[in-house]
Structure 1
Amino acid sequence: MASAVSSTTPPPVEPPPAPRAGYGQLLRTPGAWSFLLPGFAARQPFAMLTISIVLLLRHTTGSYGVAGVVAAVTGASMALFAPRSGKLADRHGQSAVLVPGVLIHAAAAALLTALALVHAPLWALIAAAVPTGASVPQVGPMVRARWAAVLGDGATSGPGPRSGRHPLPATAAAFESVTDELTFVIGPVLATGLSTGVHPASGLIAEAALTLAGGLLFAAQRRTAPRPGSTRADTRERHVSALSVPGVRVLAVAFLGIGSVFGGMQVALTAFTQEHGQPGLNGVLYGVFAAGNMLAGVACGAIAWRTSPRRRLLTSYAALTLVCSTLWAVPTPLPLGGLGLLAGLCVAPALITGYTLVEALVPATSRTEAFTWLTGSVALGQAAAVTAGGQLADGFGASAAFTVPLMGTALALLTVVSLRARIAPRGGATKEIRHERGPAAPRPESLRAADTS
């Protein structure tokens, strides 16, 4: 009789997933504002550093090529040292890494400014650029790690998607991307305005001052910081490098391409506005590009997506490559601003989904390091693009410099498409979607058995 009843009883139906949490709920998280406000000030210089160096050295040397080389060394140093900084923050705490870092960065940036103003040789500028870049505080990844900690799973979640644990992580990832893009709206405009309207060195001086003040204020907020070393009993997790995860390496390549857009656009727009006799328009055009990033980021955080992050990454990256293929042919500033806006609209979804995917691919004990690998990849791509763009702008003009974002995104897109299977979080697309929508009720045994079959 029991078997007859069980054979006719319909299987339980899984309840629909909870609705996506919004920005309002996210910002009401206890303790959030204590690290958001100083974190915003401390990450602002990230968007100011490259353009400030380019504008200062273009003024003192008269060469985009020299300016690009020094800016590239700065970016490469940041890319190489950022993951180490993230790993140290995971093990020893954010304040222990951040406080000496911002002090060193302020001193190194001041030295680089002084050397540029006295027309020091290239080797001296490069020597000062190394510590300037290496000491850039990784505030963005640290803020993301704090979100994971205050949302309740930073000490307990392991590798794989965290579906069903909290409705806010995907919204936090989108919010952080919006914040990043807002810094790229304000930073280049501020740096350009100071460098062209006040003094060529004032942009870099302001960058160092903001880094010092914001970094120290952020480091002082210890209550919301993740606990050093995590609380996992399995100590083997503590020493797993984030870069050992194949999906992280693929995402790092994708972020290299995004960095090539940032760096290529900065140099190409500077050369373009110089050629048209409107150097002050550079910050406005780059601000329009960054505004597109911010608007798309706001939309990404507000939408309850039904497609997986991996699919959205591929789609947005293909669109970004398509837009970049048209930049070199634009003759005047107005249509260039429109295309820059479109490019920005494509960048934000790629960034957001990349951070969402990497959070599902690595254990919590390596999360800050993983975020810094992506941030460092952006910096490295930016550095390479600034170098290539500067050489092309010197030799062939601004139109040639605009081919750098195209080449960077095209090569990265080819890599990501070829290795797309490696960026699928454990559990496949179903768990990816559930991770973004929010928590669902526990699955009945019959359905969980079906999932594994």
Structure 2
Amino acid sequence: MLQARSADASLIAHAGRSYFPIAFIARLPFAMMVVGVLTLVVASRDSVALGGINSAFVGIGSAIVGPMVGAAADRFGQRTVLVPVGLANAVLLGVFVLVVQSTAPDLAVLALSFFVGASAPQVAPMSRTRLVAIIRQRMAAGRQEKVLSGTMAYESAADETVFIIGPFLVGLLASAIAPWVAVAGASVLTFVFVTAFALHPTGRLAVGEQAEVTQAPARQLLRPRLVVVVVGILGIGFFFGSTLTSLTAFMETHGESSQAGLLYGLMGIGSAGLALGSAAFPRAFGIGWRWLVFGVVLLGGAIAFASADSVLAVGIILAVMGIGIGPTLVAQYSLGSDRSPVGRSATTMTILGSAVIVGQSLTSAVVGEVAESSGTQAAMLFPAISAGIVVLAAVVNLVLSRRD
């Protein structure tokens, strides 16, 4: 168990200095899977359509099984669930590399893609659950609100960063060495760092000290005020997938497709910075209004992206869109944490995390097909549509909050 600390000690002191770097690296494979599978299938099977379908299957597997993994963690403890799930995922990623490059039928590759997504370790939502538990159980009541806000800001910035770094690493490894190296690397990272995360002492705290709490009925996960947050974060997933795919198509028309990952990384600069800075926003600037305001910034940037015609313009627009992403994610995860049914925090956070990967994988497949059949300009409309979903969900959230 964690060592006893003063209620005035910092969150880092409570969690341990090794916790944050381990938790950060452990979530990287999750962000690499969709793009890694897409890249490897396209390279090995010479079919963009098949690659897109496989990436969608990764998301479908995560959507169906991910919440079950979170529910199991709520019931049996993170360590008990995460160790076997992480090991299974590492093995499946390694097997996927071998199967996709063999003469195995496409159906076998699709099945493996589903199981890769289904066994994806839900590190990000489980990290949030652990840190919220530490704050609620170990820190002085007067400090909890401020520390919780800062923690949600950090976690959202970490998520945004890995969803930028993940595709960048896949592209770098695929172009510098070979497409299979990215998926194999995700397997190694999962085996080492997800296991380390699972076995970290904080894995006991998240459930062990809440074992006496009676779980709320599962139907409370379907409450409108929580569902609207899931829809909003699904929109962010749509945005990630559609932006990366349409950007790749755009750069391909300019003869520089290998640089798409570098440009995509520009979006992470403002996003991570503003996400971390969200803790400094005044309380009068409520979480729901932050979601709406920064969602509108995201929408404005996406509309400009749809009409951009030069690499320089796209780079500037991506940096602006990043300003909207970070605070929006912070607001959504904060609301998800606040509205989580009693005893189902890991389930809630897993649903939110799965929504991102589902949105990313589905739009990667759809937008890739649109880019091939209808052209790059049509594909570049999809980030604006995705941002529109984010803004619409923000409006509905404010209406529901006002009614309640």
TM-score by length of 2: 0.90
Q: 1:94 to 1:232 in 2, by over 3 A?
A: closer
Give deviations 1:54-82, integer Å, cap 9, x for gaps: 22222223333221111011012112221
**Does the Cα contact within 8 Å between 1:145 and 1:226 map onto a contact in 2?**
no
CA distance in 2, matches of 1:362, 1:370: 6
Count the aligned residue pairs: 396
Residue of structure 1 equivalent to 2:382: 404
SS in structure 1 of the partner of residue 263 of structure 2:
helix
**Does the Cα contact within 8 Å between 2:221 and 2:341 map onto a contact in 1?**
no
CA distance in 1, matches of 2:42, 2:200: 38
Q: 1:104 to 1:406 in 2, by over 3 A?
A: same
Residue of structure 1 equivalent to 2:4: none
Deviation at 1:293, TM superposition (A): 1.6
1:33-432 alignment, distance < 5 Å: 33-118=17-102, 120-153=104-137, 165-223=144-202, 225-228=204-207, 231=210, 235=214, 237-241=215-219, 243-423=221-401
**Does the Cα contact within 8 Å between 1:61 and 1:119 map onto a contact in 2?**
no
CA distance in 1, matches of 2:10, 2:52: 40
Deviation at 1:282, TM superposition (A): 1.5
Q: Which moved more, 1:56-65 or 1:310-319?
A: 56-65
What amino acid sits opposite 2:120 in the alignment?
V
Q: Structure 2, unaligned stretches of length 5 or more?
A: 1-8
Q: 1:425 to 1:57 in 2, by over 3 A?
A: farther
Q: 1:389 to 1:187 in 2, by over 3 A?
A: same
Deviation at 1:290, TM superposition (A): 2.2
Runs (4+) of structure 1 exceeding 4 A deviation are: 162-166, 423-426
Deviation at 1:288, TM superposition (A): 1.0
Give deviations 1:197-231, integer Å, cap 9, x for gaps: 10011111111111111111111113454353754
Q: 1:212 to 1:234 in 2, by over 3 A?
A: closer
Aligned-CA RMSD value:
2.5
Give deviations 1:123-144, integer Å, cap 9, x for gaps: 2221110110011111111111
Deviation at 1:419, TM superposition (A): 4.7
Q: 1:215 to 1:152 in 2, by over 3 A?
A: same
More helix by share: 2
SS in structure 1 of the partner of residue 256 of structure 2:
coil
Deviation at 1:92, TM superposition (A): 0.7
CA distance in 1, matches of 2:390, 2:145: 32
SS in structure 1 of the partner of residue 121 of structure 2:
coil
CA distance in 2, matches of 1:233, 1:93: 13
Larger radius of gyration: 1
**Does the Cα contact within 8 Å between 2:289 and 2:398 map onto a contact in 1?**
no
SS in structure 1 of the partner of residue 205 of structure 2:
coil
**Does the Cα contact within 8 Å between 2:237 and 2:360 map onto a contact in 1?**
yes
Deviation at 1:396, TM superposition (A): 2.2
CA distance in 2, matches of 1:166, 1:299: 16
CA distance in 2, matches of 1:393, 1:243: 36
Aligned sequence identity (%): 27
Q: 1:29 is matched with which residue: 10, 13, 21?
A: 13
CA distance in 2, matches of 1:216, 1:253: 31
**Does the Cα contact within 8 Å between 1:267 and 1:389 map onto a contact in 2?**
yes
CA distance in 1, matches of 2:240, 2:332: 16
CA distance in 2, matches of 1:178, 1:90: 25
SS in structure 2 of the partner of residue 29 of structure 1:
helix
Q: Which moved more, 1:328-337 or 1:111-120?
A: 111-120
Q: 1:251 to 1:182 in 2, by over 3 A?
A: same
Q: 1:101 to 1:113 in 2, by over 3 A?
A: same
TM-score by length of 1: 0.81
Q: Which moved more, 1:260-269 or 1:290-299?
A: 290-299
CA distance in 1, matches of 2:78, 2:151: 19
